[in-house]
Amino acid sequence: MDKKEKFKYKLHQAIENRKIKKEKKIPHSKIGIDYSIAINITIELITGMALGFFLGIMLDNYLQTKPLMLIIFIILGIIVGFYNMYKTLKRYGYFN
Amino acid sequence: MAANKGPLHQFEISSIYDIKFKGLDLSFTNSSLSMVLAIIIASIIFHIGSRKNGELPNKLQVLVEMSYEFIANMVRDNVGKGGKIFFPFIFSLFLFILFGNVLGMVPYNFTYTSHIIVTFALAGFIFIAVTIIGLVKHGINFLKFFVPSGVPISLLPILIPIEIISYFVRPISLSLRLFANMMAGHTMLKVFASFIVLLGILGGWAPLLLVIILTGFEIMIAVLQAYVFTILCCLYLNDALNLHH
C-alpha cells in the first residue's frame, strides 16, 4: 500500500514537472523578440543621453553658462536613459 | 552599374517630378511614389477584402478581418476607456508603417520608413496630438502626470525633471527605433549581398545563405516594428486619456 502511494505521488510529480517544462519551452519567435528588446532598450538609452546633451548645449547658449548646463543635463540624460530602459524592460515583463 | 553603388545608395532620394512652390521644394520623389503605392495597394486589398463575396470568406477577406481584429483588440486592451474614436487613426497608422516596411523589402522599391524625417513626422504628430488630448481632457491636472505617485516628497525634485525629460524623449525614441531598425536591416542586407558578388561562384554560397536567412528575419522585423510603433502609440494615448501610474 505504501509503495503504491509512493508511486502515485512520484507519477503525479513527474506529470507536473512535464507540464512546467512544456510551459517553459521557448517559442521560435523568441529570438526575434529578444532582438527587438535589445534594440529598443539601446535606443532608449541613446535617446535619453542625446536629448540631455542637446538640451544642455541649447541652455548653455541661451543662458551663457558654458559647461554647467551641459554637465547637469548629460547626467540627467543618462539617468533618464536608464530609467526608460527599466520602464521598457518592465513592459516586456521583466522585474516581476 | 550596381558595382559602384554603396550600401547606402538605396536610401538616396531622387526627384521624379519637380515641383517648386514659392521657393519650397515640393518635388514628387521616389519616397512619395512608394508612399502613394503603399496607400493604393493597402486600399485595394482592403476594398476587395471587405466586399461581400459568397457564403464562405476567401483568403483576402480573412486577412482583412484578422488585421482589423488585431488592431481592434490592441486598442481595446491598451488604450482602454475612450479609445474607440482613435481606432481609425491607429489602424491607418499601422497599415501605413506595415506596408512601408513590407513593400520596402521588394527589390527596387524604396523604403520610406528608413528615413528619419518620415518617422519623426509621424512620431512628432502623435506626441503633439497626445499632449493636446491630455491637456484638453484633464486641463491643468495633466501636469500631475509628471509627478510619480507613491514616492517620498524629498525625492520629487529629482524625479520630476527626470519624468519631464523622459516625456520629451518619447517622440525621438519612437521615431529613431523604427528608422534605425529599417535602415540597419536594409544596409546589412545590401552589405551581405555585395559579399556574394565579391566572393564569386566559389565562396559566394555562404553569404547567399546568410542573405536568405536575413531576408526572412528582416520581414519579421518589418512586421514587428510596425506593431511596436502602433502599440507604443496606444500606450501613450492611454497615458493621456486615463491619468494614472
Nearest 5°: phi and psi at A95?
60, 30
Residues in chain A: 96
SS3 content of chain B, % helix, strand, coil (to 5): 75, 5, 20
Say yes or no to pLDDT of B39 above 90. Answer: yes
Contact A46 B220 (CB under 8 A): no
Domain that includes residue A51, residue range? 29-91
Specify if A48 maps to a domain: yes
Specify if A82 maps to a domain: yes
Residue-wise pLDDT tens digits, B207-231? 899 899 989 988 988 998 898 899 8
Residue-wise pLDDT tens digits, A19-67? 766 655 545 556 667 777 888 888 888 888 888 899 899 999 999 888 8
Return the ∠ at Cα B104 (arms to B44 and A31), rounded to 5°.
Answer: 110
Question: Which of B162, B172, B221 lies nearest to residue A47, judging by beta carbons?
Answer: B172
- Of residues B67 and A20, more confidence is placed in B67
Question: Which of B165, B217, B235 lies nearest to residue A51, judging by beta carbons?
Answer: B165
In the prediction, which pLDDT does A26 show?
47
> Hey, what's the cell of B114?
528608413
Q: What is the pTM of this model?
A: 0.81
Give me the sign of the Cα torsion angle B164, B170, B171, B177: positive
Q: Chains A and B: how many Cβ contacts under 8 Å?
A: 54
In the prediction, which pLDDT does A57 show?
92
Say yes or no to pLDDT of B13 above 90. Answer: no
Chain A: give the shortest CA distance to residue B229, in Å.
11
Domain ranges for chain B, please list them: 17-241
CB atoms within 10 A of CB B215: 15
Taking CB atoms and an 8 Å cutoff, what residues of chain A touch B221?
32, 35-36
For chain A, the domain total comes to 1
- Indicate whether this complex's ipTM tops 0.85: no
Chain A: give the shortest CA distance to residue B221, in Å.
7
Chain B: give the shortest CA distance to residue A21, in Å.
27
Mutate to test the interface with A, among B101, B158, B169 (most CBs of A within 10 A): B169
Which three-class secondary structure string do you get for A21-63?
HHHHCCCCCHHHHHHHHHHHHHHHHHHHHHHHHHHHHHHHHHH
Residue-wise pLDDT tens digits, B168-180? 888 998 898 899 8
Specify if A17 maps to a domain: no
Question: Which of A33, A39, A91 lies nearest to residue B177, judging by beta carbons?
Answer: A39
Taking CB atoms and an 8 Å cutoff, what residues of chain B touch A48?
165-166, 169, 173
Contact B224 A32 (CB under 8 A): yes
Contact A39 B217 (CB under 8 A): no
Mean pLDDT of chain B: 87
* Helix B205-241 × helix B87-103 angle, to 10°: 170
Taking CB atoms and an 8 Å cutoff, what residues of chain A touch B169?
44, 47-48, 51, 80, 84
- Of residues B245 and B87, more confidence is placed in B87
Specify if A21 maps to a domain: no
Specify if A70 maps to a domain: yes
With beta carbons less than 8 A apart as the criterion, state whether B229 and B177 touch: yes
Residue-wise pLDDT tens digits, B193-209? 888 888 888 888 888 99
With beta carbons less than 8 A apart as the criterion, state whether A78 and A52 touch: yes
Chain B: give the shortest CA distance to residue A45, in Å.
9
Nearest residue in chain A measured CA to CA from B166: A80
Mutate to test the interface with A, among B101, B168, B173, B179 (most CBs of A within 10 A): B173
